[in-house]
Structure 1
Amino acid sequence: MVRVVRFHETGGPDVLRYEDVPVRSPAADEVRIRVDAIGLNRAEVDFRRGTYVERPVLPAGLGTEAAGEVVEVGSAVDRWQPGDAICVLPAFSPNDYSVYAEETVVPAAALVARPDGVDAITGAALWMPYLTVYGMVQEVVRVRPGDSVVVTAATNSIGMAAMQVLRHLGAVPIATASSAAHTGALEAAGAAAVLVEGADVVGQIRSLTGGRGADVVLDANGGPQVEQLVRSCAAGAAVIVHGGLSRQPTPLPAGGSVPVWLRRYRVRETIGDAGALHRAQHFIRAGLAAGALAPLVDRVFDFDDIRAAHAYVDSSERGPGKPVVRVGRAPSPEQ
């Protein structure tokens, strides 16, 4: 029997409960893993509330991103062996598998080897942000050196990863944030400029780009602000909406706007494409080895504090980077 976190009704963090359940043996194409750390995402807050793109099938588990060790492999799995240090990618529906657990079963296809020298806490914060950014700036569009790229809600884990990736590519990252409190952290990650959301976004972006406008926008908010972002772009730019933090409908740009390509993106586009995932892994591992990419862990919670962790993910107190849950004896990165 192992402890897992599940919920039997949608609602706030108080609906989360610990349960002792048996862990089944993996099917042919699955693996059983020990979970050492869990990467937290706002999507899990929405799933718990019942406001995610998928409705939870109750009782429901949570989580699609983790780091740990292989315990047992299915009969058709030849890539992994017990004892392998791995990371779990968000490659499946939370209604099918979950990682908020001491041990769990996941598809073998959702695993990648943990890079050498990367501990479990950092490994749980690594793949989703960088895969998301890589997919947008190298697969959906090809960001070039010198391109001006606006990144909204840039203090979250994807935004901070974007600062590093864009700096590595030679682009000019322009970050937006809800306040100026994290300007220093964003600039340290690579931001050429930091704008406070709610101000004259169009005017500020056009001023920073010499009147030309942004070449690419990576937007985590969605909602009505997208129209302003489109108006801040150069002709032929791309606006990629990869989140819905505003929780409002995203309108199409009004008539008379500059010609801009507007599209949505989800990280499963990259994870589900074998070629794109292969390229992404090489890009990310090379960036880690060169020191150009360094996952930023915001705060580490213990597994016993999962309700507090969920409240933090949905609060205005969040710092830059990704919150992570430590399971068992996984050490913090500084230890």
Structure 2
Amino acid sequence: MAKIVKFKKYGGPEVLEFEDIEVASPASREVRISVKAIGLNRAESMWRTGVYVEPVNLPGRLGYEISGVVDAIGSEVTHVAVGDVVSTMPSFSMNDYGMYGELVLAPAHSVVKHTDDISFEDAVAIWNVFITPYAAFVEGNRVKAGNTVLIPAASSGVGIGAIQVANMIGAVPIALTRTGAKKAELLAIGASHVIATDEEDMVAEVMRLTDGKGADFAFDPVGGPNFPKLVAGTAVGGTILIYGALSNDVTPLPMLEVLAKRITIHGYNLFTTTTTPELQKAAVEFVLGGLAQGKLKTLIAQRFKFADIVEAHRVLEKNQHVGRLVVEV
């Protein structure tokens, strides 16, 4: 028997509950993993509250990223073996698999083998954090060396990853954060500039930092009422890539400015990369290479015990941390 986390109705962190289940043997293309650590994503909070990109088949499980040791493999699995140190990346629906548990089944395509010099905690702070900006910036050569990139919600896990990936390819990351409280940390992480959007005129600052041109690229997980400011701060011919919807408010679209400046707005998620074998392979090589070179570094804000998963979700929703929240199993 193994303990897993599930929820029977939408709601706050308190709807999460533990259940002891017998975990089945893996199907032909599945891997069973003894979990050592779980990385929390805001997507899981949205899933729990019913505001994600797909509805939950209640009662629901949740969780994308875990690390651990392979316990059993399906008959068609060849890239990992029992005893291997592995982690999982977001590449499946949480209606099909949930990674919050002591022993879990994962689709084989989501499982990555790596050396044990990457700690279990660090292993759950690399895939969503770094592949999300990698696929956005590097695939298709969207962001080039010298380009200026606006990064809203810069203190989030993916925001911190975006700062580092931008630096790795020679771009100039401008971190956007609500107040100046996290400014020193964001600069230490590698932001070229930090703008406290509740305290400064964001558009004026962007224009000052770019000599009146505006940013070449904006990487937005928020949307909401401040979206027109991103448009105003984006250069003529620039691109805004939207990869999240953290704001619950309506997102206005200033049509005339978008048309006048010929701005391209893309909706984006990392699943095309993580579910396409050749793209996933390139992404994994980029991330592991960046880690080995010291150009990409994990940042863990806080650790929790598995029994404290509800409290971990409460902290996740406060948005006061810098970096990744990790649950030790």
Q: What band does the TM-score fall into relative to the shorter chain? A: over 0.9
Partners of 1:266 and 1:117 lie apart in 2 by 29
TM, length-normalised to structure 2? 0.96
Q: CA deviation at 1:205?
A: 0.5
The answer as to 2:267 corresponding to 1:264 is: yes
Per-residue Cα deviation, 1:154-206 (whole angstroms, up to 9, x for no partner)? 00000111111111211111000011111111111111110012342211101
- Distance between the aligned counterparts of 1:178 and 1:201, measured in 2? 10
Do residues 236 (structure 1) and 237 (structure 2) align? yes
**What is the CA–CA distance in structure 2 between the aligned matches of 1:127 and 1:281, rounded to whole Å?**
8
1:9 alignment partner in structure 2: 9
Partner of 1:246: 247
Alignment of 1:1-335 (within 5 A): 1-198=1-198, 199-256=200-257, 257-316=260-319, 318-327=320-329
Cα shift at 1:140: 4.7
Secondary structure in 2 matching 1:314:
helix
2:26–2:32 CA contact under 8 A, matched in 1: yes
Cα offset for 1:238? Answer: 0.8
- Secondary structure of the corresponding residue to residue 323 of structure 1: strand
User: In the aligned structure 2, how far is the partner of 1:106 from the partner of 1:272?
Assistant: 13
Supply the distance in 1 between the matched residues of 2:112 and 2:252 (Cα, whole angstroms).
Answer: 37
What is the CA distance between 1:19 and its match in structure 2? 0.8
- Show CA shifts across 1:51-106 (max 9, x none): 22222212111101111111000111111110010010111111100111000111
3-state secondary structure, aligned to 2:318: coil
Secondary structure at the aligned position of 2:185 is classed as helix
The 1-side partners of 2:173 and 2:104 are apart by 39
CA contact (8 A) 1:115 1:285 kept: no
Identity across matched positions, percent: 39
The answer for the alignment partner of 1:333 in structure 2 is: none
Task: Evaluate the alpha carbon distance shift between residue 200 and residue 274 of structure 1 in structure 2; reply closer, same or farther with a 3 A threshold.
Answer: same
CA RMSD of aligned residues (A): 1.3
Shift of the 116–20 alpha-carbon distance from structure 1 to 2, 3 Å rule, reads closer
- Checking the alignment, whether the CA contact within 8 Å between 1:37 and 1:67 is kept in structure 2 is yes
Shift, 1:261, TM fit: 0.8
* Contact map agreement 1:231 1:258 (CA 8 A) in 2: no
Change (3 A) 1:220 1:140: farther
Contact persistence 1:31–1:107 (CA under 8 A): yes
| Secondary structure class of the residue paired with 1:34 | strand
SS in 2 for 1:129: helix
Deviation string, structure 1 residues 202-230 (Cα, Å, up to 9, x no partner): 11101110111101111111123222211
Which 5+ residue runs of structure 2 have no aligned equivalent? none
Any idea what SS the aligned residue of 1:98 has?
Answer: coil
* 3-state secondary structure, aligned to 1:255: helix
